[in-house]
Structure 1
Amino acid sequence: MSATVSEEIEFDAEDEAPTEERVPVTRAYRFEVVKLLAQWRVRLLLLACWTLPGLFVAAVAQQGTLPSDTLFGRWMHATGWAGPLVVLGFSGSWALPLLTSVVAGDVFAVEDRLGTWRHLLVAVRSTRRIFVAKALASGTVIVLLVAGLALSGTVGGLVAVGNRPLVGVDGHQLAPSDAAGAVLLAWVCALAPTLALAALGLLGSVVLGRSPMGLLVPALAAVAMQLAQMLPLPVALRLTLPGYAFVTWNGLFTAPAQADELLISVVVSLAWAAVATASAYLLFKRRDFTGGSDDGLGRRALALGALPLAALLALTFAAVALATPSTGSGITQDKVQQQVATVFAHLYRLQTDELHRPAVTEAQLQTSAACERGDGQSTEDPSGAGNDWHCVVTWHLPGAAAPGTALYQLTVAPNGRLEADGDGPKDVNGYFLVRTQTGDAPNPLWQFDGNVELLPTPTKG
């Protein structure tokens, strides 16, 4: 009798008897979406994602202090388009890993906790369609959550501050229409690592069953990748971690766009999503649902699920290393100097407009930067991340007898993000505010961000 029940439960779509009604994937998918949306915690997450970012951005716009340690945070009083980017930076580090844990990390485990596998298998009569329906349903809910974060942050920023030009990572201004397109594309690119984390959640949910560790797989993976990104890794290895796509969207806000790292990290994230989902499916097909005490697949299956991901990491590292040879950090003295000079030139023109001084072009400024690390006495070329960079910026004004100079203390992160803090002279970068004809305004040269491209750049002839 047990053999008959086992055969009835385990056969797939290809083995269905002609007299049985075929349950389409679409019907199973709708059923799984309804089940997810019926959970109070998922409803609470949807409400939070569609309301809290907008309220946060609007509240910050009314405050005197800004989250200047966050990329684009210092521009939240200047334009509404900075708000959704601040939300994206926070979401990539914390919100999205937690959302994928709650949704994808529990989509299979909930059946183990409730003991409903037999009922579901008898109703759908196909493990393949069950897996596809659950994977698509969890992906749909995750996309709704991400869309809520993006739309809420954007609406909050535009309502509270307005549709104004956005200052890019390299200091150049984006018109509101260009800023809108870049913000939308940045959120779309962030979907790739989000789906990779969701796929890891599916894998953990299949393997670990009702164990709470399945819920933690995406969050723990995200934390591990964040910690790895803080280390002085070779560029090729950094790009093969899917979490890096939460950072490389910064390159969309430079002119020209730093698209190479973004494309590589998005492709790598999608590859992780595909491999992790395929592993989860193959392991799901191996489960024996006839036993009443069945709960996941055990530790050995966890190792089997991790092996394809380890192989993918090795293959992508080898491919990226061969395509873009770079064994170092990718942060060199020339790149830092070029980035600082570029950002300063853009922002100097912005400060000139604020103070209603005679217009000047970047060609006329002839901005250059001389950057060193530590005491500057080392005979080797400075390179790598650190908070001991300091730069002397020099520029020329038409008709001026001597060039102008400004000092900056720099912090360069391992991912290439650059933060410059002005250190004089006081009339250039010594104060947070500058006095204009219409009142005090933020000084764009007081502190600024930059983004060092880690991959080798072609030499201009």
Structure 2
Amino acid sequence: MTATLVEAPVAPTQSTAGRPVPVSRVYRFELVKLFAQWRVRLLIIACWLGPGVLVFGIQQQATLPSDTLFGRWMHTTGWAGALVTLGFAGTWALPLLTSLVAGDVFAAEDRLGTWRHLLVAVRSARRIFAAKALASVTVVVLLVAGLVASAVVGGLLAVGNKPLIGLDDHILSPGDAAGKVFLAWACVLAPTLALVALGLLGSVALGRSPMGLLLPVIVALGMQLAQILPLPVAVRFALPGWAFIAWNGLFTDPQQLAPLLISIAVSLAWAILATALAYLLFLRRDFTNLTNDGAGRRAVAVGVLPMAALLAATIGIIAASTGAAGSGIDQDKVQQSLATAFAHLYRLQEDQLHRPPVTEAQLQTTAACIKGDGLVANEGPGNDWRCTVTWHIPGVTITGQAIYQLDVNANGRYIADGDGPKEVNGYFVVQTPQGDEPNPLWQFDGNVDLLPSH
């Protein structure tokens, strides 16, 4: 007969029995739970591989997404692909990622009925909230890093580290382009954090309801719709979604930093308030009732009303501090922006045609624009802007003129389409070190600063 020794369980000491588990341990546990989900693993693979494959494939095609910002330059430089990816990510990818990660981090416990077990193990609702919020942010930042890394690598492998044409069509060196591309991606972290915070709020306030999971996507789609509408500038800037557009100002000369800084501050304010509301609602939940998942009119009201008040206050502050009114698009701004872009590209065209170099001071470029054939006010967005660009040709006494049709969006971006003479802004191919490219003066993008010029 043999005896079996069984180790007796050790009772917790008095110093550790009631002590909450450290946030770092709970944070690691929440990370393990997130990475164990098949959808998160698929998202990581997709973000770290998908953009690079798509950018590389697009840059091998003859047809480029020229209707997308920087899409027409994807054959010219590898950095354009990262900016095209950024535009797509701000519209679709980042709202979806934040919904799938942050929008379900609390609701998953409701579906599984594991709140009481988690509270018994951690012994602190505050630390549970902090760990879940930090874990969600960590995963989202990892996904964003994958998007930018994959897009940059794919673009550089396909085309190479070449100069980039800026939004007002000045040339950025490869080093300058790289710095601004990574800075643009860093700037969109602010609105992404705002969407993460809204996902946390929806997950806490709406519980098992699918609306909690979809809240960041719904809010993002609503903000995109608002940016399309002819809203006043103050309303446009007061929405965190504007930060997904304001990075455009990094690629102008001089840089349009005021809209970008305003949008980052607004996004961080939304992120802080939404996180605070989610925290308060989470602490007030009754975890002893298995049928109570936090959803209810009171929870929704507590979440919606403060966010609406923040929006109203932000609109008032921006309007008062910037003096912005109306659409922010007027005749003088359009003319100045078009003349600047044309002068930059004219010099590029002269270089590509192997003609003597000229300076912008020599060109003395000006533009005269009207909207709707003069039948409407010369302000606001629309595809009925018609402009005549005039410049001085060095060495001769005559002046040159070119006609452009402009499609100006409500967010200030416009596409200029050459309408003659064909020798200047018509479609023809020029030889560049990268190969044959369309005439740079044929079609190009530009941007109007919506804030008043001082």
Q: TM-score, normalised by structure 1?
A: 0.94
Superposed, 1:333-352 pairs within 5 Å as 333-352=331-350
The structural deviation recorded for 1:426 is 1.1
**Aligned partners of 1:28 and 1:124 also within 8 Å:** yes
**Secondary structure class of the residue paired with 1:105:** helix
Q: Distance in 1 between the 2:425 and 2:294 partners?
A: 60
Structure 2 unaligned regions, length at least 5: 1-13
Q: Distance in 2 between the 1:48 and 1:133 partners?
A: 25
Partner of 2:108: 110
Q: Deviations over 1:222-281 (max 9, x none)?
A: 000010111111111110000000000000001111000000000000000000000000
The structural deviation recorded for 1:399 is 1.4
The structural deviation recorded for 1:436 is 6.5
Q: Deviations over 1:318-375 (max 9, x none)?
A: 1111101122110000000000000000011111111111000000011111111111
Q: Distance in 2 between the 1:179 and 1:408 partners?
A: 28
Superposed, 1:33-48 pairs within 5 Å as 33-48=31-46
**Aligned partners of 1:355 and 1:437 also within 8 Å:** no
- Does residue 427 of structure 2 align to residue 444 of structure 1? no
The structural deviation recorded for 1:292 is 1.9
**Secondary structure class of the residue paired with 1:411:** strand
Superposed, 1:120-199 pairs within 5 Å as 120-199=118-197
For residue 287 of structure 1, what is the amino acid of its counterpart? R
- Which one of the candidate residues 431, 434, 450 is aligned to 1:454? 450
- Which one of the candidate residues 233, 236, 239 is aligned to 1:235? 233
Q: Distance in 2 between the 1:411 and 1:377 partners?
A: 17
The structural deviation recorded for 1:162 is 0.3
- Does residue 281 of structure 2 align to residue 283 of structure 1? yes
The structural deviation recorded for 1:313 is 0.7
The structural deviation recorded for 1:441 is 2.3
**Secondary structure class of the residue paired with 1:359:** coil
- Which one of the candidate residues 411, 417, 434 is aligned to 1:415? 411
For residue 342 of structure 2, what is the amino acid of its counterpart? F
Partner of 1:309: 307
Partner of 1:326: 324
Partner of 2:58: 60
Q: Distance in 2 between the 1:104 and 1:140 partners?
A: 10
- Which one of the candidate residues 295, 301, 305 is aligned to 2:293? 295
Q: Distance in 2 between the 1:452 and 1:191 partners?
A: 24
**Aligned partners of 2:429 and 2:438 also within 8 Å:** yes
**Secondary structure class of the residue paired with 2:374:** coil
**Secondary structure class of the residue paired with 1:418:** strand
Q: TM-score, normalised by structure 2?
A: 0.95
Q: Deviations over 1:128-179 (max 9, x none)?
A: 0000000000000000010100110000001110000000000111111111
Q: Deviations over 1:265-319 (max 9, x none)?
A: 0000000000000000000111100012122231321111111111111111111
**Secondary structure class of the residue paired with 1:64:** coil
The structural deviation recorded for 1:18 is 6.5
Partner of 1:405: 401
Partner of 2:427: 431
Q: Distance in 1 between the 2:244 and 2:340 partners?
A: 24
**Aligned partners of 2:373 and 2:386 also within 8 Å:** no
**Aligned partners of 2:87 and 2:244 also within 8 Å:** yes
**Secondary structure class of the residue paired with 1:375:** helix
- Does residue 260 of structure 2 align to residue 262 of structure 1? yes
Structure 1 unaligned regions, length at least 5: 1-15
How has the CA–CA distance of structure 1 residues 38 and 437 changed in structure 2, closer, same or farther, with 3 Å as cutoff?
Answer: closer
Q: Distance in 1 between the 2:98 and 2:75 partners?
A: 31
Partner of 1:212: 210
- Which one of the candidate residues 393, 407, 430 is aligned to 2:389? 393
The structural deviation recorded for 1:432 is 4.9
For residue 385 of structure 1, what is the amino acid of its counterpart? P
Q: Distance in 2 between the 1:145 and 1:415 partners?
A: 27
Q: Distance in 2 between the 1:232 and 1:85 partners?
A: 25
For residue 104 of structure 1, what is the amino acid of its counterpart? A
For residue 401 of structure 1, what is the amino acid of its counterpart? T
**Aligned partners of 2:383 and 2:408 also within 8 Å:** yes
How has the CA–CA distance of structure 1 residues 337 and 453 changed in structure 2, closer, same or farther, with 3 Å as cutoff?
Answer: same
For residue 376 of structure 1, what is the amino acid of its counterpart? G
The structural deviation recorded for 1:377 is 4.7
Q: Distance in 2 between the 1:99 and 1:315 partners?
A: 29
**Aligned partners of 1:410 and 1:420 also within 8 Å:** yes
Q: Deviations over 1:42-64 (max 9, x none)?
A: 00000000001001110011100
The structural deviation recorded for 1:438 is 9.1
**Aligned partners of 1:287 and 1:297 also within 8 Å:** no
**Aligned partners of 2:76 and 2:434 also within 8 Å:** no
**Aligned partners of 2:103 and 2:199 also within 8 Å:** yes
For residue 242 of structure 1, what is the amino acid of its counterpart? P
**Secondary structure class of the residue paired with 2:436:** strand
The structural deviation recorded for 1:442 is 2.5
Alignment length (residue pairs): 441
Q: Distance in 2 between the 1:248 and 1:59 partners?
A: 28
Q: Distance in 2 between the 1:46 and 1:450 partners?
A: 34
